[in-house]
Structure 1
Amino acid sequence: MDVLSEAITAMRRGRPESFLSTASAPWGLRFAARDGVAFHMVLRGSCWLLPGEGGAPVALGPGDVVLRPHGTEHGIADDPATPLTDIFQQPDGQWAVNGELDGTGATTRILCGAYRLSRNRQHPLLSGLPDLIHLPADIGAHPELRAAVDLLGRELERPGPGSDALLPALLDTLLLYVMRACLNDQAAGASTGWAAALADPAMSAALHAIHDRPADPWTVESLGSEAGLSRAVFAQRFTATVGQPPMAYLTWWRLTRAGQLLTQSDAPLRSVARECGYSSEFTFVRAFTREYGTSPGRYRRAQGTPAA
């Protein structure tokens, strides 16, 4: 699996949530802060994204996609001056609005939703993203993303057999294409950060080696060999680009992977330790407890996974 996919998988919790709304001006919606990534996709008409905290309103047109990677409070409205009404999730999972969206003005069709993420193990790739990602529907820009937007829009407008299974898959596809487009845009001219690291063949090779084979007995020198660089040059370049030394990131990823295995399987601790690069169960338990603040067994029970 590639680094971007694993960064998302390491943080994801449950299925993506979404709702489709048709609103006639005047209308305005306020979205509370949450642990996750919020997104909006304009299918028809136009509106404004209101970032909050003094941020300037952003005009959105048909086909535009906007992402709030850090789940901060924000609003969308037909006009920046329109008062906002709260939108909330009911116990049955359905979304509801404290107000009316049926005005007499121009109509906007918009898809809103969120991906639930665990902030306890936030991957640095996501934490380094800007608070607002706006991808306009420019002709010729990000063709794969545009195709995903079109597919999702058509499925929402004209659902058919299999839609219940297809929509979550398309929403996941949308998130990955948005992330890819954002990283590609950021990589242009960037010398540091995760976008630059993934665009750098040497750094990308080392990161993929860590993710593909976390159990290998990696050293700075052997990771440098994967990158085709000397030990000293690799260590300096990795730290400057990624933001932390290579062995620190390796440890972080091994323990993040361990948390996933404890949650998703009932494998014995010795097997989890071995798969994550720890030669003994004792060493693994000590490292995991230091990182998570609880033992692997207690962590597994708290996640509802039976012990082996």
Structure 2
Amino acid sequence: MDVLTDAIAAMRTGRPHSKRHVLAAPWGMHFRDYYGAAFHVVLQGSCWLLPPDDAAPIRLGVGDVVFLQHGAPHALVDHPDTPARPFDPAREVPTPSVDSSATVLLCGAYVLDTARPHPLFTAVPPVIHLPAKLGQRDSLRAAVGLLGDELLTPRPGATGVIGAFIDTLLLYILRTWFEEQAQEVPAAGWALALQDPAVSGALDAIHQAPERDWTVADLAASAGLSRAAFASRFSTLVGRPPMSYLAWWRMTTAARLLRESDQPLATVARQVGYGSGIALATAFKREYGVTPGRYRTGLVTAH
């Protein structure tokens, strides 16, 4: 597992979903506050995104992708002056014929725990707009095309395929944004951390083996840097010292294991580098404010 994949997996709390919309002007859809993140893709035609917090409208064309990491209230309209009706996913809307005047959108949402995001997400702006660029972002466009085709003509296995494609689309959106940010001047933070061989290598090592008794010296040696140089570079790009990040990731991994499995606490403790269930329970309560048992019971009750 790499850092970007792990960051998403640690925050995911439910299955993503998406829907294809065919719209004839005038039209407007208002999306309420959502516990997670949302995305929209223009497959045909054009429209306007009315972002959260009354920010300036953004015109979207064919192939444009937008990602809203906080799922804040926003709207899509055929024109900025068109009123937007509340979007109800349970309400069936008559679908017009797909002619040259129709706008075709691919809209979806991810169920993510934004209350405790991976620090990687703190670098992501509230709205990411990735305009279509001829000859660029081929992987992103391919993922969009595959998801759009599957939603247009569902076939056997569609449920699993669509979920996998939506997850893949999220990875491509974030990868594209981070890679392009790393090319900006000046670039810093996680955009550079994912591209920096020393820091990204250390992050991968921590994510692949959180149970290992890592030291700054170990990580520095694997990066081919002195202890001081490595610690300084890691802290600057990641936003916290190596051992602080390791402790945070261990707790985050423990929470995910408690959420997704029924493994005994002692087993979870061994997988995240704690010598006993008691040691993990103490650290977990300090971090989350509840014991691992109450955390797991609360999740069961909530569902």
TM-score category of the 2 structures, normalised to the smaller one: over 0.9
Whether the 8 Å contact between 2:147 and 2:162 is mirrored in structure 1 is: yes
Once the two structures are superposed, residues 47-73 of structure 1 have per-residue CA deviations (whole angstroms, 9 ceiling, x without a partner) of 011113231211111121111112121
Give, as a single letter, the amino acid of the residue that structure 2 aligns with 1:14: G
Aligned to 2:82, the other structure's residue is in SS state coil
Whether the 8 Å contact between 1:215 and 1:276 is mirrored in structure 2 is: yes
**2:167 alignment partner in structure 1:** 172
**1:288 alignment partner in structure 2:** 284
**1:115 alignment partner in structure 2:** 110
**2:58 alignment partner in structure 1:** 58
Sort the Cα spacing of 1:159 and 1:101 in 2 relative to 1 into closer, same or farther, 3 A: closer
Whether the 8 Å contact between 2:19 and 2:151 is mirrored in structure 1 is: no
Matched residues in 2 for 1:233 and 1:220: separation?
A: 11
Once the two structures are superposed, residues 224-263 of structure 1 have per-residue CA deviations (whole angstroms, 9 ceiling, x without a partner) of 1122211111111111111111111111100010011112
Does residue 297 of the first structure (1) align with residue 272 of the second (2)?
no
Once the two structures are superposed, residues 156-198 of structure 1 have per-residue CA deviations (whole angstroms, 9 ceiling, x without a partner) of 2222232222211111111111111111111113542111101
Summarize the alignment of residues 214-293 of structure 1 with structure 2, pairs less than 5 Å apart.
214-293=210-289
Once the two structures are superposed, residues 62-107 of structure 1 have per-residue CA deviations (whole angstroms, 9 ceiling, x without a partner) of 1211111121211110011111111134xxxx3567xx887xx942
Equivalent pairs: percent with the same residue?
Answer: 52
Matched residues in 2 for 1:248 and 1:88: separation?
A: 43
TM-score scaled by structure 1?
Answer: 0.91
Does residue 136 of the first structure (1) align with residue 131 of the second (2)?
yes
TM-score scaled by structure 2?
Answer: 0.93
Matched residues in 2 for 1:254 and 1:55: separation?
A: 38
Matched residues in 1 for 2:187 and 2:41: separation?
A: 31
**1:36 alignment partner in structure 2:** 36
What is the RMSD of the two structures over their aligned residues, measured on CA atoms? 2.1
Aligned to 2:263, the other structure's residue is in SS state coil
One of 168, 176, 182 as aligned partner of 1:181:
176
Whether the 8 Å contact between 2:210 and 2:250 is mirrored in structure 1 is: yes
Matched residues in 2 for 1:269 and 1:194: separation?
A: 32
Aligned to 1:169, the other structure's residue is in SS state helix
Give, as a single letter, the amino acid of the residue that structure 2 aligns with 1:6: D
Give, as a single letter, the amino acid of the residue that structure 1 aligns with 2:42: V
Matched residues in 2 for 1:269 and 1:120: separation?
A: 24
**1:11 alignment partner in structure 2:** 11
Sort the Cα spacing of 1:154 and 1:220 in 2 relative to 1 into closer, same or farther, 3 A: same
**2:196 alignment partner in structure 1:** 200
Matched residues in 1 for 2:239 and 2:91: separation?
A: 39
Stretch moving more, 71-80 or 279-288: 279-288
Aligned to 2:26, the other structure's residue is in SS state coil
Summarize the alignment of residues 82-101 of structure 1 with structure 2, pairs less than 5 Å apart.
82-89=82-89, 94=90
Give, as a single letter, the amino acid of the residue that structure 1 aligns with 2:142: A
Matched residues in 1 for 2:133 and 2:54: separation?
A: 27
Aligned to 2:134, the other structure's residue is in SS state coil
Aligned to 2:37, the other structure's residue is in SS state strand
Matched residues in 2 for 1:161 and 1:272: separation?
A: 37
Aligned to 2:88, the other structure's residue is in SS state strand
